[in-house]
């Protein structure tokens, strides 16, 4: 998450392209769908490790728009026959 916050800083200062930030932020948000990582994120938000702006940005990203990588197979929901 520290790397993602650094990328967020680059994005807010116009160094990182908006599309790249959108892809990276939705990816990291999708990892937070994992219950253990979600619990860690909730703890990390309260330990003064991240800026309030970054926390707000991550919390506003809709998890529904984020692809699921953890806990789902590559074929799940893709219309492919897993066999």
pLDDT of residue 10: 96
pLDDT at 30: 84
Query: pLDDT digits over 7-49, tens only?
Result: 999 999 999 999 999 889 888 888 888 899 889 999 998 888 8
Structure tokens at 11: 């994005």
Locate 13 and state its tokens: 């200062």
Count of other CB atoms within 10 angstroms of residue 68: 14
Query: What is the structure's pLDDT at 21?
Result: 92
Confidence band, pLDDT 50/70/90 cuts, at residue 78: very low
> How many CA within 13 A on the CB side of residue 28?
20
pLDDT at 67 over 80: no
| φ and ψ of 61, to 5 deg | -70, 125
């Amino acid at each position: 998450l520290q790397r993602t916050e650094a990328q967020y800083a680059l994005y807010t200062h116009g160094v990182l392209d908006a599309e790249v930030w959108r892809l990276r932020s939705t990816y990291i948000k999708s990892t937070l769908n994992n219950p253990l990582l979600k619990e860690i994120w909730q703890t990390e938000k309260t330990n003064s490790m991240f800026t309030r702006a970054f926390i707000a940005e991550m919390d506003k990203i809709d998890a529904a728009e984020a692809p699921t990588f953890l806990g789902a197979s590559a074929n799940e929901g893709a219309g492919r026959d897993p066999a």
